[in-house]
Copies of this chain bind each other. A is one copy, B any other.
Amino acid sequence: MTNRQIWLRSTPNSVPAEEHFAIRETEVPTPAEGQFLIRNAFLSVDPAMRGWLLDEGNYLPRVSPGDTMRAFAVGEIIQSRNPDFTQGEYIVGLFGWQEYAVASPEQVLLRVTERDLPLSTALGVLGLNGIAAYFGLLEICAPRAGETIVISTAAGAVGSCAGQIAKALGCRTVAITGGEDKRRRCVDDFGFEVAIDYKAEHNLEHALAQACPNGIDCYFDNTAGPISDAVLANLALGGRVAICGTAALAAWSPWPQGPRVERHLLTKRASMKGFIALDYKDRFPEAITHVAEFVRSGKIRYFEDILDGLEAAPSSIERLYSGRNKGKLVIRL
């Protein structure tokens, strides 16, 4: 049986594009004792994938030329040599940009439990996106009702979820996003009280000051860069910044420069803390249960952009960074 894989041809300096990948055919591997064979149903496209290709310090080993591209995927177990994993069960893990994968239990990120909701959500709002939003917001921002929270890439899969949870908690939510379409979606679909199109603002720091007259209590940061600079200048006393991503910075070599943050943090007695969803692996079921309830009650809306076929994968990361997608980007096999 043939397996098709997308593999890395060369390491990009910036955003990975179609030319950095190629497709190949191999034999479908056979699971060893304790392992299982998965047929991928949806492949994920995530901003973090860019970082996986770089050789700077990161939380996973680098993906090197020749490797099958690392990616989250949701798939069905079609053959199992492990009594804890049943044929017909759907699971999520780093199963890669390929049709079939063999995995061991420690490679499983989560089991799909909310089967009344679409399977693709296991890669988005009920997957790492929703989980990142949930823990970044509740554990690091820790907002109180009535506080003002600013979210960057607010129309994105993580940002929109974080904004809607914050709103459900009674916060005043302010979106930063790029483009009038997304700006409108933040208000109309995701319920942000104010949404700012940073591309249309001459002075984002000033626009934020007007949108947040009592300062910014929490900042859920998906961008870093000049957007964050404008937010930090408007922090309220005791402000909390959760660093979830650095999408505004195309490369870390040479290391990007910016205004130093120490004085903001000192005068406002504010904090910045980085996190990744994987840090909370033991508590994933808690997050999924809560987010699924919000989805069913309509308090969390989500959008997905579904590309068809493995051939769509090589150009999908570039597509993600271009901002053309409207929701969580996934590839249906």
Q: Does A224 contact B (CB under 8 A)?
A: yes
> Can you list 12 A-B pairs, Cβ within 8 angstroms, ordered by A?
A59-B267, A224-B260, A246-B262, A246-B263, A246-B266, A256-B259, A257-B257, A265-B272, A265-B274, A266-B275, A270-B273, A271-B271
Contact between A263 and B257, CB atoms less than 8 A apart: no
Least distance between A132 CB and chain B CB atoms (Å): 12
- State how many copies of this chain the complex holds: 2
Given contacts A271-B271, A273-B271, A274-B270, contact A243 B265 (CB under 8 A): yes
Contact between B269 and A276, CB atoms less than 8 A apart: yes
Q: Which of A221, A267, A276 has the most CB of B within 10 A?
A: A267
Contact between A262 and B59, CB atoms less than 8 A apart: no
Q: Does A177 contact B (CB under 8 A)?
A: no
Q: Does A228 contact B (CB under 8 A)?
A: yes
CA distance A279 to B265 in the complex (A): 14
C-beta contact mask, A115-128 vs B, less than 8 Å → 1, else 0?
00000000000000
* Total chain A interface residues with beta-carbon distance under 8 A: 37
Spell out A's residues near B (CB within 8 Å).
Answer: 56-59, 221, 224-225, 228, 243-246, 249, 252, 255-276, 279
CA distance A59 to B264 in the complex (A): 11
Q: Kindly identify which residue among B58, B244, B255 contacts A267, using a CB–CB cutoff of 8 Å.
A: B58
CA distance A153 to B121 in the complex (A): 51
Task: Determine the chain B residues whose CB is within 8 A of the CB of A252 once the complex forms.
Answer: 263
CA distance A246 to B59 in the complex (A): 30
Task: Determine the chain B residues whose CB is within 8 A of the CB of A58 once the complex forms.
Answer: 267
Given contacts A259-B255, A260-B256, A260-B258, contact A274 B279 (CB under 8 A): no
Least distance between A195 CB and chain B CB atoms (Å): 23
Task: Determine the chain B residues whose CB is within 8 A of the CB of A224 once the complex forms.
Answer: 260, 262-263
CA distance A246 to B262 in the complex (A): 7
Q: Kindly identify which residue among B243, B244, B245, B259 contacts A257, using a CB–CB cutoff of 8 Å.
A: B259
